[in-house]
């Protein structure tokens, strides 16, 4: 036996146990789902507006991909940025407040300032959010980066705070009063998960949309969270290629599906909780956007039951955010 063959044998010996424990990609396409997946409208719950972005260009991305609605908190420029998108895209834009304001508060005062309910910046944001919720201009507050220690491209941006900290309770109680949502970027650490459950139990009228469905949280953890908390929802941005970021740690642990199909444990989870999942993308590149929606239409929706595919693609978002 030459050296090459011996090396391959060694590979097999070491590779087999790992392969045996890995989740299996579900291979069965539902023909009816595959048919409707090709062109049914999609609601994208992770499209951040930014100061440099032109609303008509984003509308063009949406139109060429059959995306009916899209939105998330403004990356920069606060209220002026999302307001501009709301004005230009009308009901097709799903507006959330607070993202860039909370980033500024964090950059200036660190995690302590961001979690302090009495911080002047937090108080100012609270007053503005209440006005906008009351007037129906926004659907809630987010994306709030409460635990992105392993999931940020910039070291300066990485932090971990208590999900049930005073400022978080303050905004949660506010959205609960106005039938809105908090959207959270939160990795699946056990303490973060426990704190999230405290927040969710504090008022069941309040709702949380987990951005990236818990970032690195596995299907088992998300299942127990959904089981115990009827007021918790997921959007799946960044959990599939090409938006799945390799620099964020273990790629396979975070992947829910790819162009070839859905991980079996996630497929079962989505079918067991079909009214809790929504689509998200999270990119500022038009070509990556096209590829992401193509992967959703080819790698996720055809594997779901037709009724589930419709719910995940757009019906859940329509119901929860009052989209027409």
Residues that bind Zn ion (CB under 5 A): 185, 211
Of 181 and 303, CB closest to Zn ion:
181
Min. distance of Cβ 262 from Zn ion in angstroms?
21
The residue whose Cβ lies closest to Zn ion is 185
Of 92 and 185, CB closest to Zn ion:
185
Of 40 and 186, CB closest to Zn ion:
186
Of 29 and 288, CB closest to Zn ion:
288
Nearest-angstrom CA–CA distance, 295 and 255: 12
Min. distance of Cβ 257 from Zn ion in angstroms?
18
Min. distance of Cβ 186 from Zn ion in angstroms?
9
Min. distance of Cβ 212 from Zn ion in angstroms?
6
Min. distance of Cβ 15 from Zn ion in angstroms?
33
Q: Which alpha helices (DSSP H) does the chain contain, by range? A: 3-21, 31-37, 55-64, 78-89, 99-115, 120-134, 166-177, 190-202, 219-228, 251-254, 264-272, 286-295, 306-310, 316-321
Nearest-angstrom CA–CA distance, 205 and 58: 33
Min. distance of Cβ 226 from Zn ion in angstroms?
19
Of 167 and 211, CB closest to Zn ion:
211
Q: Length of the chain, please? A: 324
Of 86 and 211, CB closest to Zn ion:
211
Residues 98-101: contacts with CB under 8 Å, at least 24 apart: 98/73, 98/125, 98/129, 98/141, 98/142, 98/144, 98/171, 99/48, 99/72, 99/73, 99/74, 99/75, 99/142, 99/143, 99/144, 100/73, 100/74, 100/75, 100/76, 101/125
């Amino acid at each position: 036996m030459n050296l090459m063959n011996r090396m391959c044998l060694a590979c097999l010996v070491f590779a087999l146990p790992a392969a045996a424990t890995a989740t299996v990609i579900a291979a069965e396409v539902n023909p009816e789902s595959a048919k409707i997946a090709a062109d049914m409208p999609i609601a994208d719950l992770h499209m951040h507006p930014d100061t440099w972005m032109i609303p008509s260009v984003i509308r063009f991305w949406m139109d060429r991909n059959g995306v009916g609605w899209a939105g998330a908190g403004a990356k920069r420029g606060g209220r002026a940025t999302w307001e501009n998108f709301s004005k230009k895209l009308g009901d097709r834009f799903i507006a959330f407040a607070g993202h860039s304001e909370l980033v500024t508060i964090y950059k200036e005062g660190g995690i302590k300032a961001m979690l302090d309910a009495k911080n002047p910046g937090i108080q100012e944001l609270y007053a503005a959010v209440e006005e906008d919720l009351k007037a129906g201009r926004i659907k809630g507050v987010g994306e709030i980066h409460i635990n992105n220690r392993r999931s940020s491209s910039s070291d300066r941006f990485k932090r971990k705070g208590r999900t049930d900290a005073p400022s978080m309770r303050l905004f949660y109680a506010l959205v609960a009063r106005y039938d809105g949502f908090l959207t959270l970027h939160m990795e699946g650490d056990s303490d973060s998960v426990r704190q999230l459950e405290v927040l969710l139990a504090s008022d069941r009228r309040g709702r949380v949309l987990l951005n990236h469905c818990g970032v690195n949280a596995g299907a088992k953890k998300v299942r127990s969270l959904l089981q115990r908390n009827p007021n918790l929802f997921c959007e799946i941005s960044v959990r599939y290629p090409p938006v799945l970021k390799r620099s964020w740690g273990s790629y396979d642990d975070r992947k829910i599906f790819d162009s070839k199909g859905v991980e079996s444990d996630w497929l079962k989870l989505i079918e067991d909780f079909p009214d809790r999942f929504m689509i998200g993308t999270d990119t500022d590149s038009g070509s990556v956007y096209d590829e992401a929606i193509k992967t959703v239409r080819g790698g996720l929706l055809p594997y779901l039951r037709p009724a589930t595919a419709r719910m995940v693609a757009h019906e859940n978002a329509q119901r929860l955010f009052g989209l027409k």
